[in-house]
């Protein structure tokens, strides 16, 4: 599903060169893979490259076997919309939209009709256990519920790959555990690949594959 | 659709700031619409004054009469003005033709003589279309004006109506006997005794001090004019067609005359119009600048507060151009709401001001004040709306481009 080949992406932080260096990995469809490592190890940078948010300085990104790292901004926008989903540490829901509208957002951007988007988004929210919270705005939901909405939003457009950056970091254990379980189940059921950046041992323990990073390099390569 | 929904929600998000922007927009709309309504009243008043003051909708005259002053009365006249007037009255587009003689001379009350500018008109036709009777009524309020009436239609009667300043200068009043002196069109000196039957207030001091009005027959005798007339004032059934009708009437009247629409000859009207356009154009520019700054500030603040949200939308697949569209839609929503509020307030204020019947002071050079009436001018309202909307869309452009240029990963990190 996702293959990263010798990805290098660097930036200068406090006068030192940081980022990721020649990292390669692949994530299969229907699996939950984790990028593990301490803060500053390059997890987020690698997710940004895999999510086509930043181009690599060197190396290749392949999605479903197709090289996508050299595409134009417009083509990357289209790919993000149609094949990728994102889950952020701080949920990043649009505050003026309710749970249903937030979930409908990528569908409507894809061109689904209002009714189609509503049906699909309702279905996804039901799958993440929020069928009774459709009309709630983010401010009216708990952290765990907001992250479930974010997962529903990420999956609504039937992406091939979901990238999640520390999805449980802002949640307590009681909410984080079930959320991971949910992602693992959805990955298997929908055949969607999940690549999760986390240093949470609970997350790592539930992963189908773990890629350990330190100082921007893979430890287990 | 989703962008419009987002735009609507975002405008409602920061209510206090939105209300402030709407207040600025509404005030801008109101100022433009009320100013436009006031201008419209002024222009209509001036146009009416020019047309009913003697110009009519189209003037037909000798070509040289446009170039400069006559050396003597009827030097540049229409030799068979009466015949031409009779012919033009048969035209289906013409409501009336009022022949006029403009002449000059001395007015004597015995010991005192004063130079005058005379207007000779058809006593029967003139008051039906022109402001003559109103002017005589106004003149009646002046000292010596009591008992003022319009000229007799009897061609054998020799009467005169004096401008109030002219009467004052001569010490004449209604009932006074005076002598009109002038030169005939052949250059011979001639005089006619007339009786003052009324005073008239023409609204301008310079005119009141010099002008008198007599019947065409009186002037014809004084000037030995025969059927010659200085000019013909043509009144049209469709006044808005004055421009094209002037061209047609000129062709109809054949060679040796020119036909001019009233607005070409009403110099004061044109000058005031230009002045007003300059004043209100400047005011409009200032208003546009205020609206531009206010809305740009609102939208820019909104962008700065939503950096991470924009990063999220971009990560989800929103294109940079769609963010520009989103900000344009937010501007459009603000503009529509602001103009709607402005329209409501304008209509209320207009109704209130018109109901007060406020008296405006006399404009410089005139002797009459007038009642303030703010006209409802749909074209001005539409122009105000479109103008403000254009300003808002321009002001939304910079915030939109700023949002579109955000780097996604930096925007996502924004706190």
Q: Do residues B86 and B232 both lie within one domain? A: yes
Please identify among residues 13-42 of chain B the ones whose CB lies closer than 8 Å to any CB of chain A: 13
Structural domain boundaries enclosing A81: 2-218
Which domain-ending residue is among B256, B278, B305?
B256
Tell if the pTM clears 0.90, that is, is over it: no
Best A104, A109, A153, A159 member to test B by mutation, with max B CBs in 10 Å, is A109
User: Do B69 and B142 have their domain in common?
Assistant: yes
Residue A40 sits in a domain of what CATH number?
3.40.50.300
Shared domain check, B346 and B275: yes
Q: pLDDT tens digits, chain B, 415 residues: what are they?
A: 788 888 998 888 888 888 988 998 999 999 989 988 998 888 888 888 889 888 899 999 988 888 766 677 778 888 889 999 999 999 999 999 999 999 999 999 888 889 999 999 999 999 888 888 888 888 888 888 899 999 999 999 999 999 999 999 999 999 999 999 999 877 889 999 999 999 999 888 888 999 999 999 999 999 998 899 999 999 999 998 898 999 888 888 777 889 999 998 888 888 888 998 898 889 889 988 888 888 888 888 888 888 999 999 999 989 999 999 999 999 999 999 999 999 999 999 999 999 999 988 876 656 677 888 899 999 999 999 999 899 889 988 988 898 888 889 888 887 7
Domain range spanning residue B174? 63-256
Q: Across B184-292, where does the E strand assignment appear?
A: 189-200, 211-215, 231-236, 258-261
Q: Pairing relation of β-strands B189-200 and B159-163?
A: parallel
Q: Which of B229, B256, B283 is the last residue of a domain?
A: B256
The answer, for A178 touching chain B at a CB cutoff of 8 Å, is no
Pick from B127, B125, B130: nearest CA to B56 = B130
For residue B28, tell me if it sits in a domain: yes
Does B240 lie in the same domain as B126? yes
- Cβ-based burial of B215 (10 A; exposed 0-12, middle 13-18, buried ≥19): buried
B231 and B142 inside one domain: yes
In angstroms, rounded to a whole number, what is the distance separating the alpha carbons of residues A35 and A25?
10
The total of structural domains in chain B comes to 2
B290 within 8 A of B282, measured Cβ to Cβ: no
Interface with chain B: mutation pick from A94, A111, A115, highest number of B CBs within 10 Å: A94
Domain co-membership, B41 together with B167 = no
Q: What is the helix (H) or strand (E) element at residue B182, kind and residue range?
A: strand B177-183
Same domain, B20 and B133: no
Nearest CA in chain A to B12: A96
Cβ contact, residue pair B6, A94, below 8 Å: yes
Q: Measured between beta carbons, which residues in chain B are less than 8 angstroms from residue A90?
A: 308
Same domain, B352 and B282: yes
Note whether residue B361 is domain-resident. Answer: yes
Whether residue B315 and residue A80 make contact (CB cut-off 8 A), yes or no, is yes
ipTM metric: 0.89
The answer to whether position B311 is within a domain reads yes
B264: in domain: no
Distance of CA A103 to the CA centre of its chain: 15
Q: Tell me the nearest-neighbour CA distance from B314 into chain A, angstroms.
A: 8
Helix ranges (DSSP H) in B171-266? 205-208, 216-223, 242-253, 262-265
Q: Is A88 close to B312, i.e. CB distance below 8 A?
A: yes
Are B133 and B25 found together in one domain?
A: no
Query: Which positions in chain B touch A53 (Cβ < 8 Å)?
Result: 315, 408-409, 412
* Residue B139 included in any domain: yes
Q: In this structure, are B72 and B40 located in the same domain?
A: no
- Chain A and chain B share a number of CB contacts under 8 A equal to 64
Distance from CA of B386 to the nearest CA of A (A): 29
Q: Domain check: are B201 and B96 in the same one?
A: yes
Partner-chain contact A53 B308, CB within 8 Å:
no
What residues in B contact A108, CB-CB < 8 Å? 1-2
Q: Are B118 and B180 in contact (CB under 8 A)?
A: yes
Q: Could you tell me if A26 lies within 8 Å of chain B, comparing CB atoms?
A: no
* Among candidate residues B256, B290, B319, the one where a domain is terminated: B256
Do B98 and B239 share a domain, yes or no? Answer: yes
């Amino acid at each position: 599903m996702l293959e990263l080949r010798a990805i290098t992406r660097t930036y200068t932080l406090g006068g030192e060169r940081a980022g990721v260096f020649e990292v390669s990995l692949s994530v299969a469809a229907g699996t939950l893979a984790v990028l593990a490592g301490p803060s500053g190890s390059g997890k987020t940078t690698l997710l940004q490259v895999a999510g086509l948010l930043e181009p690599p300085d060197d190396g290749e990104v392949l999605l479903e076997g197709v090289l996508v790292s050299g595409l134009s901004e417009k083509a990357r926008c289209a790919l993000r919309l149609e094949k990728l989903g994102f889950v952020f540490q701080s949920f990043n829901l649009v505050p003026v939209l309710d749970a249903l509208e937030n979930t409908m957002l990528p569908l409507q951007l894809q061109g689904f009709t209002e009714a189609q988007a509503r049906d699909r988004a309702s279905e996804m929210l039901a799958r993440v256990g929020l069928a009774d919270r459709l009309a709630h705005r983010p401010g009216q939901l708990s952290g765990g519920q907001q992250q479930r909405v974010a997962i529903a939003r990420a999956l609504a457009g039937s992406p091939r790959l979901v990238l999640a950056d520390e999805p449980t970091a802002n949640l307590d254990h009681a909410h984080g555990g079930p959320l991971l379980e949910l992602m693992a189940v959805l990955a298997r059921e929908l055949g969607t690949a999940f690549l999760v950046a986390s240093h949470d041992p609970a997350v790592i323990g539930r992963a189908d594959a773990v890629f350990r990073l330190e100082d921007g390099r893979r430890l287990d390569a | 659709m989703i962008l419009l929904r987002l735009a609507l929600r975002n405008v409602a998000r920061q209510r206090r700031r939105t209300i402030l922007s709407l207040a600025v927009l509404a005030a801008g709309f109101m100022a433009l619409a009320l100013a436009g309504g006031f201008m419209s009243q002024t222009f209509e008043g001036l146009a009416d004054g020019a047309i009913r003051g003697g110009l009519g909708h189209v003037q037909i005259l000798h070509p040289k009469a446009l170039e400069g002053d006559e050396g003597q009365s009827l030097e540049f006249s229409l030799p068979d003005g009466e015949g031409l007037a009779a012919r033009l009255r048969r035209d289906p587009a013409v409501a009336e033709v009022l022949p006029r003689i403009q002449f000059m001379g001395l007015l004597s009350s015995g010991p005192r003589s004063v130079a005058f500018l005379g207007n000779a008109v058809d006593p029967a036709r003139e008051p039906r279309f022109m402001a003559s009777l109103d002017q005589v009524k106004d003149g009646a309020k002046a000292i010596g004006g009591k008992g003022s009436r319009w000229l007799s239609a009897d061609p054998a009667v020799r009467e005169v109506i004096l401008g109030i300043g002219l009467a004052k200068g001569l010490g004449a009043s209604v009932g006074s006997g005076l002598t009109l002196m002038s030169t005939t069109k052949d250059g011979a000196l001639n005089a006619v005794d007339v009786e003052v039957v009324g005073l008239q207030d023409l609204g301008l001091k310079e005119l009141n001090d010099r002008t008198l009005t007599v019947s065409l027959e009186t002037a014809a005798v004084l000037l030995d004019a025969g059927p010659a007339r200085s000019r013909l004032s043509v009144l049209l059934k469709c006044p808005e067609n004055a421009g094209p009708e002037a061209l047609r009437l000129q062709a109809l009247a054949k060679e040796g005359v020119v036909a001019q629409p009233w607005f070409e000859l009403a110099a004061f009207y044109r000058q005031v119009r230009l002045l007003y356009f300059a004043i209100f154009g400047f005011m409009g520019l200032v208003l546009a600048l205020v609206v531009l700054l206010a809305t740009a500030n609102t939208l820019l603040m909104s962008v700065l507060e939503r950096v991470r949200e924009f990063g999220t939308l971009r990560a989800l697949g929103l294109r940079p151009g769609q963010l520009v569209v989103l900000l344009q839609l937010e501007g459009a929503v603000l503009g529509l709401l602001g103009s709607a509020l402005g329209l409501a307030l304008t209509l209320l204020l207009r109704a209130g001001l018109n109901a007060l019947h406020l008296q405006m002071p006399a404009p410089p050079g005139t002797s009459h004040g007038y009642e303030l009436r703010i006209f409802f001018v749909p074209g001005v309202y539409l122009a105000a709306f479109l103008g403000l909307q254009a300003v808002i869309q321009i002001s939304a452009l910079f915030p939109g481009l700023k949002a579109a240029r955000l780097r996604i990963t930096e925007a996502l990190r924004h706190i």
